[in-house]
């Protein structure tokens, strides 16, 4: 079956809303389902995750996930609502530290260094591994200040001229410069939704990240703004490594090189994106992408 047909079917059926818990739990308890199917490991990874478990209090949200992120790839994470995509994504820059009841075990390395090591300062870590959220969240400041704020607090430069260069360069990389160059002193909150999301991407880019995490960055955007942000993600891959959570399988197919399918806190399958959508190796992945749950 052609990839477009499979994805259209899945989107039509509203995948993720019809999980038959018993069936899935039974499938997950089979011995051969305890290991991730596919290619979780890559040569020369930028990020390495090994045996990652995440708990909210007593409740386990992520179970034994091992996964690498390659340099200059867009890795898409898909799966039903509540399967742990955001939880896992937030482990990659220790955003879960902000949730009191959240506990993370296992190893997550960035360029070989364990980001959970006691010696790691989370402030520079979150610049190195930036994040763009579902809902555009510009600061209540000018467009210029939204982008300049990060470089200032991270001490990237003391020079006003250099700061201007960073702001211009970041807005260009985020594909927003031409639309805002004549009104940098106006509030970021006055931009359209799609422009605000690109402003948030410029803000992440301004602190010279290595990895950018995106949690459903287009879900609050209309189709035209979504297409602009998708094109941008493809361009950003040249400079950065991107991990993106999306519910939109067409989007995963358009922009990612590998796709990871999560289910009930487990990483079921990760493979090249075209393979996941045309020839999934695990029955649960196939059920999800064809909309055949239960």
Ligand X SMILES: Nc1ncnc2c1ncn2[C@@H]1O[C@H](COP(=O)(O)OP(=O)(O)OP(=O)(O)O)[C@@H](O)[C@H]1O
Where along the sequence are the contacts to ligand X (CB under 6 A)? 56, 61, 79, 81-87, 99
The secondary structure of the chain in percent helix, strand, coil, rounded to multiples of 5, reads 40, 25, 35
Closer CB to ligand X, 83 or 191, in the complex: 83
Cβ at position 60, least distance to ligand X in Å: 9
Least distance from ligand X to the Cβ atom of residue 142, Å: 31
Give the tokens for residue 7: 């994805």
The whole-angstrom separation of Cα 49 and Cα 69 is 8
SS3 state of residue 130: strand
Q: How far is the CB of 62 from Mg ion (least distance, A)?
A: 12
Q: How far is the CB of 134 from Mg ion (least distance, A)?
A: 8
Residues lying near Mg ion in the complex (CB under 5 A) are found at 86
Choosing among Mg ion, ligand X, none, which partner's interface includes residue 83 (Cβ < 5 to 8 Å by kind)?
ligand X
Measured in whole angstroms, the distance separating CA 72 from the mean position of its chain's CA atoms is 14
69 or 171, CB closer to ligand X? 69
Give the three-state DSSP class for 116. Answer: coil
CB closer to Mg ion out of 86 and 93: 86
- Residue 81 or residue 181: which is nearer to ligand X going by CB? 81
User: Of 54, 22, 107, 99, which Cα lies nearest the Cα of 266?
Assistant: 54
Instruction: Decide which of ligand X, Mg ion, none touches 82; Cβ closer than 5 to 8 Å per partner kind.
Output: ligand X
- 1: exposed, middle or buried (Cβ count in 10 Å: 0-12, 13-18, 19+): exposed
């Amino acid at each position: 079956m052609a990839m477009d047909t499979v994805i259209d079917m899945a989107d039509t059926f509203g995948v993720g809303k019809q999980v038959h818990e018993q069936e899935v739990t039974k499938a997950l308890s089979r011995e051969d389902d305890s290991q991730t199917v596919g290619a979780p490991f890559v040569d020369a990874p930028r990020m390495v995750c090994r045996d990652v478990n995440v708990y909210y209090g007593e409740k386990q949200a992520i179970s034994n996930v091992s996964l690498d992120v390659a340099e200059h790839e867009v890795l898409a994470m898909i799966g039903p609502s509540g399967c742990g995509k955001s939880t896992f994504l937030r482990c990659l820059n220790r955003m879960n530290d902000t949730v009191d009841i959240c506990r993370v075990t296992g190893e997550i390395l960035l360029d070989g260094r364990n980001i959970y090591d006691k010696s790691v300062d989370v402030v520079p870590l979150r610049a190195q591994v930036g994040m763009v959220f579902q809902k555009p969240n510009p600061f209540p400041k000018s467009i210029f200040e939204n982008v300049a704020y990060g470089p200032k607090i991270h001490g990237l430069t003391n020079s006003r001229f250099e700061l201007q260069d960073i702001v211009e360069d970041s807005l260009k990389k985020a594909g927003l410069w031409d639309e805002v160059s004549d009104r940098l002193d106006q509030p970021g909150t006055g931009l359209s939704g799609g422009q605000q999301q690109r402003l948030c991407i410029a803000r992440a880019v301004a602190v010279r990240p290595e990895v950018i995490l995106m949690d459903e960055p287009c879900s609050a955007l209309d189709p035209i703004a979504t297409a602009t942000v998708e094109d941008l993600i493809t361009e950003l891959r040249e400079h950065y490594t991107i991990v993106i959570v999306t519910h939109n399988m067409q989007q995963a197919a358009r922009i990612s090189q590998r796709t990871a399918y999560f289910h009930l806190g487990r990483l079921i399958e990760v493979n090249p994106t075209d393979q996941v959508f045309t020839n999934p190796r695990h029955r649960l992945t196939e059920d999800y992408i064809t909309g055949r749950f239960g």
